[in-house]
Homo-oligomer: A and B are copies of this chain.
Amino acid sequence: MSAHTLLLQQFSLLRLLSAEALEQIAPLASTRDFAKREMVLAKGPPVPYLCFLMEGRLQAIDFTLDGREVGLYFIEPGDYFGELSLIDGEAQPEFVIATDRARVVLLPGAEIRPILFSSPQLAEALSRRLAQRVRQQLSQRQILAVANPLHRICAQLQIMIGGTPGQTPQQLIIKAPTHQELAIMVNLTRETVTRTFQVLLAQGVLTRQGDQLLVDKTKLEKLASGEKKEA
């Protein structure tokens, strides 16, 4: 088995490929490294690759007509991205930026596309992933209608820990977003996020560990719901 094949097998989507299809596609894979804050995908032209994040973290962002930055979602190692263009041939709908140094694996879209739809297993995995994205966006939409900034930020943190697999139920660790990264996700100013984080740290909902955040899930749930359900 080639080094390229081993590289691709770390991605759950590609583990669904037959050994034959994997060997066929492996030599076409390439890797690219990105510096922190570097642009990984530009908004606009269709992306000619299916992209997989090997290391680091990315954030999808956009800008409103009046120039405000909008944070859409984070991409964590193991995730793939750029799949919308692959599916419908239309424009890449957002910018993707490296929030840390990152390594990305690229597979040419023209070669991977027919394989994706001809296998019921892969087609189903792709649909499940898109369905999950629709669900995440629905949760995100709901958050933006929450009037209270503290509740809104707590609800956003709940989404972020929800997407983190293999954690203990009570204390969850996430890569700490910067206050600005969080602010553009929830339509608040960086200053409001900073003030809210001071409250969350003081109350023990969050604890800093280097560049990670330890989240107390029970305390977070209480705060997010406005503690109304508590005695």
Contacts and interface: CB of A to CB of B under 8 A. Distances in A.
Closest 9 CB pairs of A and B: A123-B123, A130-B130, A137-B137, A87-B131, A117-B120, A70-B145, A64-B145, A84-B131, A117-B124
Interface in A38-72: 62, 64-66, 68, 70, 72
Interface in A190-231: 224-226
A65 B226 contact: yes
A70 B120 contact: no
Contacts of A155: 65
Interface stretch (A14-22, A26-34, A146-154, A173-181): A146-154
A83 B117 CA distance: 18
A1 interface: no
The complex is assembled from copies of this chain, and their number is 2
A138 B133 CA distance: 11
8 contacts: A64-B143, A65-B225, A90-B135, A93-B135, A93-B138, A123-B126, A130-B131, A134-B137
Contacts of A64: 142-143, 145-146
Given A65-B155, A66-B151, A93-B138, 5 more contacts: A62-B141, A64-B146, A65-B146, A120-B123, A137-B137
B84 A134 contact: yes
A127 B94 CA distance: 19
Contacts of A187: 144-145
